[in-house]
Amino acid sequence: MMKTTVVWNGNMSFSGQSASGVVIPIDAAKDVGGNDSGARPMELLLHALAGCTGIDIVLILRKMRLDVRAFSMEVEGTRADDHPKRFTDIHIHYALEGDLPEDKVARAIRLSKEKYCSVSHSLNAAITASYSINGVRGKETI
């Protein structure tokens, strides 16, 4: 089981602290009452996806004994116009440098997408919610 704690700092600002101790500022845009003091939640989702697939690809290419000299990703997400304004399409452009045969890079990307990237595979996860108010657990699970 993995756990994170997210605390409201006032206004639209939150701080998320992971089990590894890293603190991530989260905030909304000024036009919806935020202060632009942190990443937006949907931005964090794209960051998580890129980080997950990036780690997979580096590990896979290293197992193939290939030398990656530089690696970056541009991730674009198209969102629905209506609420909940979910991502309807996500495109990742991988830019790699090194002596890297195209077929090996394509295989690493495919393996990450189809088998290893837990973030990608979690985007359709069933999510349940429970709540407590003033220390009293709510009666229903949502």
> Is residue 18 helix, strand or coil?
strand
End-to-end CA distance of the chain: 20
What rounded mean pLDDT belongs to the chain? 93
Q: Residues 6 or more apart from 89 whose CB is under 8 A from it?
A: 77, 78
Do the bridges between strand 68-79 and strand 87-98 make them parallel or antiparallel, or are there none, so unpaired? antiparallel
pLDDT computed for residue 22 by the predictor: 94
Q: What is the pLDDT of residues 48-75, one digit of tens each?
A: 999 999 999 999 999 999 999 999 999 9
Whole-prediction pTM:
0.89
Query: Which tokens sit at 84?
Result: 């909940």
Q: Is 135 left (phi over 0), alpha (psi -120 to 50) or beta?
A: left
71 DSSP β-pair partners: 96
Q: What is the pLDDT of residues 1-15, one digit of tens each?
A: 889 999 999 999 999
Least confident of 3-7, 20-24, 108-112, 128-132: 128-132
Q: What is the pLDDT of residues 31-54, one digit of tens each?
A: 999 999 999 999 999 999 999 999
